Amino acid sequence: MADFTMPSLGADMDEGTLVEWLVGPGDTVTKGDVVAVVETAKSTIEVECFDSGTVGALLVEPGTTVPVGTRMAVIDSGAEPPAPAPAPAPAPAKATAPTSELQTAPGHATTPTRDAVSTPLVRHLAEQKGIDLSSVHGSGKGGRITRSDVEHTPAERPHRVKASPLARRLALSSGVDLSALRGTGRGGTIRAEDVRAATAAPASRTVESREAARPPSATAEPAYPARAAIAALMSRANRDIPHYYLSTTIDLAVAMAWMRDRNASRPVAERLVPAALLLKSVALAARQVPELNGYWKEEAFVPSPAVRLGVAVSLRGGGLVAPALANADTMPLPELMATLKGLVSRARSGRLRASETADPTLTVTNLGDQGVEAVFGVIYPPQVALVGLGRVTERPVAVDGMLTVHPTVTATLAADHRASDGATGARLLTAIDRLLQRPEEL
């Protein structure tokens, strides 16, 4: 027996809202499976389970906000799976129901229009693959569609519903079936307004969510929860952390030439972008200057043995998340590039995994393509440093006493004066510069 609890998805998280269960009682889960979707103040995150076994009781209903550490489900790691889940309760549960109330099949509460023969996990899988479940033959008990039925069904390629990320989030939190909506955007893309219109219709409104209750212009308002969460965290950082700032301009001629050369012989899918080289060099530099890689805890600096590089990703429509690239220092460059692509796209579609949000040890903010030369950031507590990277731009540089034009980048460091001083910070920036002069070793 194991408990599945509300995880801490970042240093600043106290509570989270369960958006959806992707499993139901009786489902078999393996460690690492995504079992629930949780919304924090900053984003929607897919949460994996840390145990293998059979899902027992689900203790928290979708729509409920609970503190970190709250028991949300029981996972039975014993051999015998319990009897199949009883028929789902027809009445959808209210979001405000007490958390102690046991629910047998909460997944159905969010999408009452779907048939009862598929579990949320299966539906999720089908949605990801763009498969219409009504066309899948169920091989499980009573015609139940199992995970392997879906896995063995070829995806119908362009069937995936076209919807904006905000629309997806709204649909998810308000229990609207996207595939049943008609999009009014370009090419039939479903926009947030379409989802709101659907939630306004009483018949399809099942779970009252914070998103749905928000006025249409929510993203533009200062009350946007992500903005409030960022504001609170950054105010704390500015108040508590004595920052110092350093800046240096790095010549990227060698690195860019190497990258261009390498990319020329590769298909698009294997090409690198400058950000990948920059991130890798920061990660390696962090290993060389461990005084800046770790946490400030209880009046002391605690270095981290591993480098988990936080990557600040700006979200369309506002907001910011900083998921972590685990082992960025030891990961080969092509893998880092692939991971980065996945991380950014999942961050923007509100589909980050819990394991990707767990405490970074050093964050990089890369405003690379937005045209600024340098960015001086605010440290993300409890970290002690933040590296800012500006745009890769052509600048005049002196080489061997001659003036020439090279691609360059301005790297900055904001660091915590309680944990280090300028000389240490300078070593980090110098290390980044040195590493970028030997791109083939990254």
Partner 1 sequence: MNRDEALVLIKEVLTDVVPGADAAALAPDENFRDNLEMDSLDFLNFIEALSERTGLALPESDYPALNTLDGCADYVTSRTSVK
**Is residue 97 close enough to count as binding partner 1 by CB under 8 A?**
no
CB closer to partner 1 out of 222 and 267: 267
DSSP string, 194-241: HHHHHHHSGGG--S--HHHHS-TTGGGSTT-HHHHHHHHHHHHHHHH-
Which residue shows structure tokens 């819990």? Answer: 354
Least gap, CB of 210 to partner 1 (angstroms): 21
Give the list of residues 6+ apart from residue 15 with CB closer than 8 angstroms, or none.
6, 65, 66, 67, 68
The C-alpha atoms of residue 78 and residue 54 are separated, in whole angstroms, by 8
CB closer to partner 1 out of 2 and 253: 253
Restricted to residues 127-166, the positions that interact with partner 1 (CB under 8 A) are 162-166
When binding is defined by CB under 8 A, the residue of 79, 223, 269, 402 that contacts partner 1 is 269
Least gap, CB of 366 to partner 1 (angstroms): 9
Work out the angle between the directed axes of helices 274-288 and 333-348 (0-180°, nearest 10). 110
CB closer to partner 1 out of 27 and 356: 356
Least gap, CB of 199 to partner 1 (angstroms): 18
Q: Which of 283, 387, 388 is nearest to 335 (CA)?
A: 283
Q: Which stretch binds partner 1 (CB under 8 A): 45-53, 127-135, 207-215, 343-351?
A: 343-351
Is residue 392 within 8 A of residue 304, CB to CB? The reply is no
Least gap, CB of 269 to partner 1 (angstroms): 6
Query: How big is the chain, counted in residues?
Result: 442
Give the Cα-Cα-Cα angle 18, 20, 26 (nearest 5 degrees): 110
Quick one: DSSP state of residue 86? Answer: P
Q: Which stretch binds partner 1 (CB under 8 A): 95-103, 258-266, 397-405, 426-434?
A: 258-266
CB closer to partner 1 out of 179 and 288: 179
**Is residue 275 close enough to count as binding partner 1 by CB under 8 A?**
yes
Least gap, CB of 352 to partner 1 (angstroms): 15
Give the list of residues 6+ apart from residue 240 with CB closer than 8 angstroms, or none.
381
When binding is defined by CB under 8 A, the residue of 42, 147, 169, 191 that contacts partner 1 is 191
Restricted to residues 364-403, the positions that interact with partner 1 (CB under 8 A) are 368-370
**Is residue 28 close enough to count as binding partner 1 by CB under 8 A?**
no
Element of type H or E holding 386: strand 385-389
When binding is defined by CB under 8 A, the residue of 57, 273, 358, 374 that contacts partner 1 is 273
When binding is defined by CB under 8 A, the residue of 31, 236, 260, 438 that contacts partner 1 is 260
Is residue 94 within 8 A of residue 205, CB to CB? The reply is no
- Site size with partner 1, rule: CB under 8 A: 30
Least gap, CB of 137 to partner 1 (angstroms): 30
Q: Which of 421, 378, 377, 419 is nearest to 293 (CA)?
A: 419
Contact residues toward partner 1 (CB under 8 A) are 162-167, 185-187, 189, 191, 260, 263-264, 267-269, 271, 273-275, 316, 340-341, 344-345, 349, 368-370
